[in-house]
Amino acid sequence: MNMLTRMFGAARLDPHTYEEVEADSSAMPQALLLVVVISILSGLGEFFAGEGDILDALVVAAFRGLLFWAIWALLIYMIGGTILRTPETHANWGQVARGTAFAQSPGVLLILSFLPAVGGLITFVVFVWQFIGVIISVRQTLDYTSSLRAFFVVLLAVIPSAIIYGIIYITYSAATSSGNGG
């Protein structure tokens, strides 16, 4: 299945798409590319809104997106594959990472986040849409029968991920502002 078809399936929240991505280890380059592209589109949305510069929009956003995705996928795998695992759970980090990457597919709309009056709404809708996609991805990838279990895994993983990401972001911001005389 090609990347665009997978993106549309993931955006439609189709469980079969997530099962297919989980099973296809050759989909990892697509997953990486998807995370980079969506991160750049998000960064461009911020740039067009007057936040940051073009370097932040392209390079830093891509790095930031890859880092958060890798950390979040690892924590989902650790929590969902060990602490909250079920007897049916058989997955590895790559499977979780591919699924969570494709769950970010609605993020292509984040380039529109700069639009006056609707940019904030677009960002919120995309966040919720992606969050639901990650829940479905986790349910399918970790072979859960309960969406509620998948929800708690995602929730438990997003909190430390956000803290780690926040620390890295603050450290990077402080380093770049002090390097610019600020």
Contact 122, 112 (CB under 8 A): yes
Stated as kind and residue range, the H or E segment containing 120 is: helix 119-141
- Write the pLDDT tens digit of every residue in 6-42: 999 999 999 999 999 999 999 999 999 999 999 999 9
On whether the pTM is more than 0.85, the answer is yes
Which domain, by its residues, includes 156?
Answer: 3-179
* Number of domains into which the chain is organized: 1
Contact 109, 126 (CB under 8 A): yes
Contact 52, 62 (CB under 8 A): no
- Write the pLDDT tens digit of every residue in 122-151: 999 999 999 999 999 999 999 999 999 999
- For the chain, helix (H) and strand (E) counts, in that order, are 8, 0
